[in-house]
Amino acid sequence: MRAYLPAYEMVVPRTLDDALALLREGAGAWQPFAGGTDLMVLLEAGRLEQRKFFSIRHLKELRGVEEVDGGVRVGALTTYTDVRRSELLSQHFPMLGQAARETGGIAIQNRGTVGGNIANASPAADTPPALLAYGAEVELVSAEGARRVPYADFHTGYKQTVMRADELIAAVRLSKPSEGARHFYRKVGTRRAQAISKVCFAALAEMEGDALREVRVALGSVAPVVLRCRRTEVSLRGRTPDDETLTAALEELGREVTPIDDVRSTARYRTRVAQNLLREFLSGLRGGGFGS
């Protein structure tokens, strides 16, 4: 059933400080509204319980992609179109561009934001696996001040995060991978566009000779949260991606993911696809077949 629009309130705070003051007013009394692409779906379905919203779309402190301290700061309001158009992100973080190109359609890419994707905390979201593989940090801001949280610690359970009710996501911070790093991102859905992921895979490898000096593997839609696969990483780190290593890593990944059967796919299919993508990633490293 559709929602009754006049039952909802939307205000537009003039500044970031005004927005943070609203959040402090009463835990959970007001909720931020960025692109609205997740919130409007709930509204249309009559499932938007929160009644009081404030728009953050115009807040310049939450915008922009810039170089800082040898890394890159991606403002929470950065849209998928902004990501696609950013030379800085294309050059150093190509998996973000790939995720953005495969998110929704053009209209969603124009409105949907990186901050909204993270805050919405869906385990099937497409940017988070890339952010995990890049070892991102989330910058949170409240009337009390700012703090940074490793993105790998941000999601604590299904739709649960460490973000307090008085906090906003201000930005995501990324350290640049080394020049020769290999980036591997695959989204598997029913169609090539406008599909929610059955499995989303992102991995980053830094090689030293034939060995994996550093490796990060992350997956979406295989657990209650987007998952950094640390045990699989341990099985790979310092090793050459030969057959023995590959077999051990695939087994470890099979134990590490905990997918479910749902309308989009089965747990068995998701596990198998996750393993196939890990195999593709590692096989590509052997021949030096692909890079960023």
Ligand X SMILES: Cc1cc2nc3c(=O)[nH]c(=O)nc-3n(C[C@H](O)[C@H](O)[C@H](O)COP(=O)(O)OP(=O)(O)OC[C@H]3O[C@@H](n4cnc5c(N)ncnc54)[C@H](O)[C@@H]3O)c2cc1C
Which parts of this chain interact with ligand X (CB under 6 A)? Answer: 31-39, 41, 56, 76, 103-104, 108, 111-113, 115-117, 119-120, 125-126, 168-169, 194
How long a stretch of residues is the chain?
Answer: 292
Q: φ and ψ at 209, to 5 degrees?
A: 65, -130
Q: φ and ψ at 284, to 5 degrees?
A: -65, -30
Question: Shortest gap between Cβ of 55 and ligand X (angstroms)?
Answer: 9
C-beta closer to ligand X: residue 68 or 165: 165
Q: Fill in the DSSP letter of residue 178.
A: P
Using CB atoms within 10 A of its CB, is residue 182 exposed (0-12), middle (13-18) or buried (19+)?
buried
Question: Shortest gap between Cβ of 144 and ligand X (angstroms)?
Answer: 15
Give Cα 218 to chain centroid, integer Å.
10
C-beta closer to ligand X: residue 35 or 241: 35
Using CB atoms within 10 A of its CB, is residue 114 exposed (0-12), middle (13-18) or buried (19+)?
buried
Question: Shortest gap between Cβ of 195 and ligand X (angstroms)?
Answer: 7
Residue with smallest beta-carbon separation from ligand X? 116
C-beta closer to ligand X: residue 166 or 233: 166
C-beta closer to ligand X: residue 108 or 248: 108
Q: Angle at the Cα of 69 (from 18 to 237), degrees rounded to 5?
A: 115
Question: Shortest gap between Cβ of 63 and ligand X (angstroms)?
Answer: 11
Quote the CA–CA distance of 131 and 149 in Å, as a whole number.
Answer: 13
C-beta closer to ligand X: residue 113 or 271: 113
Question: Shortest gap between Cβ of 94 and ligand X (angstroms)?
Answer: 17
Q: Which residue has the tokens 């941000």?
A: 154
